[in-house]
C-alpha cells in the first residue's frame, strides 16, 4: 500500500537549524570601512601602501567613529615626485647623504612619511565645497568646482574621481600631491 507523503515526512527526523532557514542579517557593524577599500583601486596602490605604514592613519581608517576624506595621489603623481615621501631636502642639507641611515635615520624617515600621508587626510566626510579644513598634518585645504571639475586648493590639484564611499568616509583620487612641508 502506498504511504501518503505526509506520513513519510512525519517519520523523517526533524532538525532545528534556524540559520539554514534564515541567513543572519547584516548589522551596521558589518559596513565596510575606509581600511577595507583603500587598496581596491590599483591607480592609488602606492599611496594606499603608505597609509598602512602609518599606525595612526591605519587605525583611523578602520574606526567607524572617525570620518575622513582621503585625498589619494594617483600612482603617476607619486612617480612624479622629485624625491621619496620620506625624504626631506632640509635633512639632506643638514645631515648629508646618510640622513636616513644610522640610529636616528629610520625614525626621521617615518616622521616624514607620516607628515606626507597626514597631509592627504581630511578629518571630515562628507566635505562641502569651499569649506576650509585642516588636514591631519595641519595644512589648510579646501576644494572648489571649476569648469565642472573638483579642484583642491591650494595648488589647483584636480580630483579625477571618487574611488569609494563607505561608512566612515570617501577616497578621492587626485592628480597631484599636496604640500606636506
| 28 in a structural domain | no
| 165 in a structural domain | yes
Q: Is 63 exposed, middle or buried (0-12, 13-18, 19+ CB in 10 A)?
A: middle
Q: Is the pLDDT of residue 19 over 50?
A: no
| 96 in a structural domain | yes
Q: Which has more pLDDT, 97 or 8?
A: 97
Domain tally, the chain: 1
| 30 in a structural domain | no
Q: What is the pLDDT of residues 22-38, one digit of tens each?
A: 444 444 567 899 999 99
| 179 in a structural domain | no
Q: What is the pLDDT of residues 25-80, one digit of tens each?
A: 444 567 899 999 998 999 999 999 999 999 999 999 999 999 999 999 999 999 99
On whether the pTM is more than 0.85, the answer is no
Residue 126's contacts (CB-CB under 8 Å, 6 or more residues apart) are 69, 170
Domain that holds residue 122: 41-174
| 181 in a structural domain | no
Q: Is the pLDDT of residue 20 over 50?
A: no
CB atoms within 10 A of CB 19: 7
Q: What is the pLDDT of residues 125-169, one digit of tens each?
A: 999 999 999 999 999 999 999 999 999 999 999 999 999 999 999
Give me the CATH number covering residue 45: 2.30.180.10
| 22 in a structural domain | no
Cell for 168?
A: 566612515
| 7 in a structural domain | no
Query: In the predicted model, what is the mean pLDDT of the chain?
Result: 88
Amino acid at each position: 500500500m502506498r504511504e501518503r507523503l505526509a506520513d513519510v515526512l512525519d517519520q523523517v527526523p526533524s532538525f532545528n537549524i534556524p540559520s539554514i532557514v534564515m541567513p543572519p542579517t547584516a548589522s551596521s557593524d558589518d559596513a565596510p570601512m575606509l581600511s577595507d577599500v583603500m587598496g581596491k583601486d590599483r591607480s592609488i596602490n602606492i599611496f594606499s601602501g603608505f597609509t598602512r605604514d602609518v599606525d595612526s592613519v591605519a587605525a583611523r581608517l578602520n574606526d567607524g567613529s572617525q570620518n575622513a576624506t582621503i585625498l589619494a595621489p594617483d600612482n603617476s603623481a607619486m612617480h612624479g615626485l622629485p624625491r621619496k615621501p620620506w625624504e626631506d631636502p632640509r635633512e639632506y642639507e643638514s645631515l648629508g647623504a646618510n640622513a636616513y641611515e644610522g640610529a636616528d635615520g629610520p625614525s626621521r624617515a617615518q616622521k616624514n612619511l607620516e607628515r606626507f600621508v597626514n597631509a592627504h587626510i581630511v578629518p571630515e566626510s562628507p566635505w562641502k565645497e569651499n569649506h576650509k579644513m585642516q588636514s591631519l598634518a595641519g595644512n589648510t585645504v579646501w576644494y572648489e568646482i571649476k569648469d565642472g571639475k573638483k579642484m583642491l586648493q591650494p595648488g589647483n590639484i584636480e580630483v579625477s574621481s571618487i574611488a569609494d564611499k563607505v561608512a566612515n568616509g570617501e577616497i578621492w583620487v587626485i592628480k597631484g600631491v599636496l604640500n606636506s612641508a
